[in-house]
Structure 1
Amino acid sequence: MAHDHAHGHHHGHHQPGGSESRLLWALALTGCFMVAEVVGGVLSGSLALLADAAHMLTDSAALALAWFAARLSKRPSDRRRTFGYHRVQTLAAFVNGLALIGLVIWIGVEAIGRLVNPIEVQADTLMGVAALGLAVNLVVFAILHLGDRDNLNIRGASLHVLGDLLGSAAAIIAGGVIMATGWMPIDPLLSLLVALLILRSASALTRESAHILLEGAPDGLDVHQVEQDIPRQLACVFEVHHVHAWSLTPARPMISLHASLVEGVDRQEALVAIETLLDERFGIRHATIQLEARDHCVGSPDTRGCGEAKATEPDASAHSHSHSHSHG
């Protein structure tokens, strides 16, 4: 049998340096304000403010992790890590998602305790510190939100800051209600509401990053559709099988497949046609393609139209490697 193994690579790069600097600015602002918020929370006795301060503490750790991951991801590939370090950012997003879920559990336990045994809150201190925290969080969120929105690492850091922003807003509302009515349960109740909002976003982030780490197919890509569309749209391809799709990051989908060609077609032209279709139809610019003769039996149970494999010696000259690099 004659087989061609081809690899098509087109890497479109965002600007990692921009993400790195944004994360560093966000880390500096969050870390500085965290100290003030801890002091304010202790002085006022507010759980909403202490919960927000604890969240900012995890934010600082999360932003530090995200910054480190963004910095590490720029390292080039080597013999042991042939795809480089891009996946580090996804790993950091997964860790940040788990940290957010842990934070939600802590806030929930504390809030229930405060509902059972209410604690008096100094509303004026609460509102003053929370208002300053809201301003800082708005600036930090704007810095991160203007970055690469397809970057799970940035999204994970943004979720931490968004949780802080919501926490500060909740603390301001709680302070206003306490000043107007003296009703203390509003503080833990709003803390629970913020925790539920954080949990929703954190769960989505954790699921998406875990899916990538488990080599799941990219979102919106139907592997069965790939198997059907290539032979349907390219007359030179008889069948496509053994399709595996995954991604290094949401912005870097990858695929490998076997393509059985119609007898007599030009292999290089077929290879280019398949790569072009994968790029234009499915948005995949990194493909590993094995070209096979139509009568080749793959030997898997789901192979269609395969008889016994013919004992034909492989043609050593039929192995070709096609590399194309495009840097945006």
Structure 2
Amino acid sequence: MSEPLLTVEELCVCLGEERHVAVEDLSLELRAEERVALLGPSGCGKTTTLRAIAGFEPVRGGRISFEGRVQSDAGGVRVPAHRRGMGYVFQEFALFPHLSVEENVGFGLRKQSRADATKRIAEMLRLTGLEGLEARRPFELSGGQQQRVALARALAPSPRLLLLDEPFSSLDPNLRGTTRRHTERVLTSVGATALLVTHDRDEAMSFADRLIVMRAGRAEQAGTPEELYAAPRSAFVAEFLGAANFVEGEATGQSARTALGEVPLRVPASGTVSLCLRPESLELVVEGGAPARVVEREYHGASCIYGVEGEGFQVAVLAVGDAPFRKGDA
């Protein structure tokens, strides 16, 4: 396995005059051409982590290394942001309002020859679908176009690492998915390594090879989207990654007895346990299941979510395709 491009070791970052601990004991690795997402609620420290990696925030503890060289540590090392070789896409894009699209994209190429810069700008405009908009100012662009300008500007200097801070959150919901998929295609085409900050689980799970779920400044769990969704280590991670039913049961080895019936376990256990059952893992049946009544019904076209109650349980059930049951059915 290749050496990590980025290594963060036991990072601690404090903010404000009162030195509030925003990030504590956080470690992560990122390899070339990998996409990782920092996922968590507002205020959990994910943007602060990104800013520390970029060089915008000093670290109180730990170490940040990039391409084998220390960029920040508690001993006073702090390589300036503009010398780290990283690209950064801000949440509000941070485009220069007085510059054209072409000038914004070329802002980081000022040390290159005019010919080389012009060629690179044209390449980035083509890659991000901005051809024909070269002379426009940011206020003349849609939100999606502004995001693409910010992406093109960050990629123009060919950074080894791209840092993305909630880059889709300010876009209209109908535009967000389209812009995200376009961004993914662009990053894949240039072989970019990316670290994304987001509070949107669907965005994180579709974008990233690996997720790091954060809570109160710490990493709660890390792994592939599939690993975290299927085997969350806490109720917090389970609920943050999707709808979850929590059912109490008595475990005896490979299964647990619950109000829903016997449930197989991933790992052997004994005694009282709390089980996380995803709505899609449950099924409504006319006969053979635990007696229950439909108390809620949300129809979404291709799927339907039922709220179901029975003796000792209240769960959500996801049905794909046919949705024959109605509220009140038992």
Q: Scaled by the length of structure 1, what TM-score is found? A: 0.26
Q: Write 1 or 2 for the structure with the bigger share of helix.
A: 1
More relative contact order, 1 or 2 (CA 8 Å, 6+ apart):
1
Q: Scaled by the length of structure 2, what TM-score is found? A: 0.26
